[in-house]
Amino acid sequence: MPPTTLSEIIFPEQANHNFSKILGDLKRSNLSITNRLKSVRHDASFVQQVAESLGLPLVANERCGSWYIDPSRKAGSAYFKSTDGHTGQWKFSTRRLNFHLLDLIGQHDGCIIIDSTRRGKRMPDALSKTIPVWCCVLNRVLFPDNTPSHELFVPPNVVSDNERSQMEARIPEFITSFLALGINLSSLRDQLKKPLRPMWITQDDPSVDVAEEISRSFHPVVCCTSSRRVIGAEMSEAGYIQGAGDDTENWAHGLTAALFWQHADELLSTDETDLPDLIRSLVEGGSHHHAGPASTSEAKEVAPYLYVAPLSGETTPSPTAAGTLCVIALVPRTTEPATWVKSKSLMEVGLGKNKTASRMLRDALPQICEFASRYLADLESKPEKKIIIQCESGKDLSVGVALCLYCWCFSVAGKVRGMDAQRELFTKNSIRVKLGHIMMAQPDLNPSRATLQSVNSFLMDWRK
């Protein structure tokens, strides 16, 4: 028998295996649902203190920002993506314009935008770079003569001078892409009294100095990172998790921020082993969606004759009024295309959920466009007709379908195209302009990248 080696004496293979398993179990235990929800509530108390200190309205940067704001204190939502602020990939998004914030900022002389980020980072790129670019572009476009406001302001302890210079060099091209949308700038300018100035606050630096000079010259856009920065393993933080409200698809079992705040005390007092069952029952209790005519108050007009809405709670679709209302319901289950058309004015399209539904939308759009074109064929004799497109949120798939119909069924002049009418070759720019019109009409909508990719793919390849 060969002699035993030193490594086998100190770290036998079985011991290594057990040690790795123990570490894995400890990590999973620390990242439990209970610890996540407790961390969310802890960070939400910090957000509340910031709001009370500054006296400004709270805006959640979705998706995770809403976890940290009591719904009774939430003034709105924003959609600034960290990917638009990644180093070398800076972007002014013409898909997520966030212009609905301008009225809020103008009325309250500023706002506080809430977001969080993963372990180790000081603040999310959405707050440190995406929002500063947004402010800079808008200042240069809306206040062309106010040159002091044209500077790109970034947090110096997060963004280096070199990166800031590279970002600022891209601002002119961002302005060009923004102006290409053909948006009415005077309507935006009327909502603001002063240019915008981003500022930053974190738990590590819990105060922000809005000097009198800044307050007099700018509307402050306070970018608040809700979570405390954790350097190293979470196991050293006594259960605290930085950015606990993020990556919900990996831990929340379908729990949403709204459900959390509605049932926070019950959730936080329930044993970890019982939480998945409790969450499942809460989610099922709030997810009974059915296809059916949405009420006028729920439906949002995004373009002439086109509306979007969340799926209705009606258990049985009722006949549409005198043939003037058409419903296209995008339901969160998969169904056969042959079953989609229920009547001349009701279509129930089963695409499934989330990214799967966005991908499946590409193959469903030809049938949806044909159905809508038939319904709109006699629009000149019945100009009161409406098409309401429904999806679970009323903000994603339904917006993608509305955009597609806006391009497919209507000419540039806004006239309805006939079933066999000659259609233009759609381009990314022409589709982007139509999307810009929709986002100006209803700025709080948030179609996903996957949804818009399906729309672009269909419209640009429809001849193939």
- E-assigned strand segments in 42-99: 58-61, 74-78
List the structure tokens of 436: 């810009």
For residue 141, pLDDT over 70 is answered with yes
Looking at domain 300-461, which of 1.20.1270.10, 3.90.550.10, 3.90.190.10, 3.40.710.10 is its CATH number?
Answer: 3.90.190.10
pLDDT, mean over the chain: 85
- Which of 27-31, 123-127, 163-167 has the weakest average pLDDT? 27-31
Q: Is the Cβ–Cβ distance between 288 and 263 less than 8 Å?
A: no
In angstroms, the CA 36 to CA 42 distance is: 10
What confidence category does residue 7 fall into, taking pLDDT thresholds of 50, 70 and 90? low
CA atoms within 13 A on the CB side of 60: 23
Residue of 418 and 453 predicted with greater confidence:
453
What average pLDDT does the segment 278-284 reach?
A: 89
Residue of 289 and 168 predicted with greater confidence:
168
Question: Before 63, cis peptide (omega within 30)?
Answer: yes
For residue 441, pLDDT over 80 is answered with yes
pLDDT tens digit sequence for 302-341: 998 999 999 875 533 444 454 688 999 999 999 999 999 9
For residue 22, pLDDT over 50 is answered with no
pLDDT tens digit sequence for 87-115: 999 999 988 899 999 999 999 999 999 99
Which pLDDT score is estimated for 4?
60
Q: Rounded to the nearest 10 degrees, how much is the dihedral formed by the CA atoms of 285, 287, 292, 294? A: 100
Q: Which ranges in the chain are annotated with CATH 3.90.190.10?
A: 300-461
pTM of the model as a whole: 0.81
Q: Are strands 346-350 and 386-391 parallel, antiparallel or unpaired?
A: unpaired
What average pLDDT does the segment 373-394 reach?
A: 86
What confidence category does residue 385 fall into, taking pLDDT thresholds of 50, 70 and 90? confident
In angstroms, the CA 55 to CA 110 distance is: 9
- Which of 223-232, 284-293, 436-445 has the weakest average pLDDT? 284-293
Q: Are strands 325-331 and 386-391 parallel, antiparallel or unpaired?
A: parallel
In angstroms, the CA 239 to CA 228 distance is: 13
- Which of 185-199, 307-321, 391-405, 418-432 has the weakest average pLDDT? 307-321
What average pLDDT does the segment 23-48 reach?
A: 78
The three-point CA angle 426-428-433 to 5° equals: 90
Phi, psi of 450 (to 5 degrees): -65, -40
Q: SS3 string of 173-186?
A: HHHHHHHCCCCCHH
List the structure tokens of 161: 């001078």
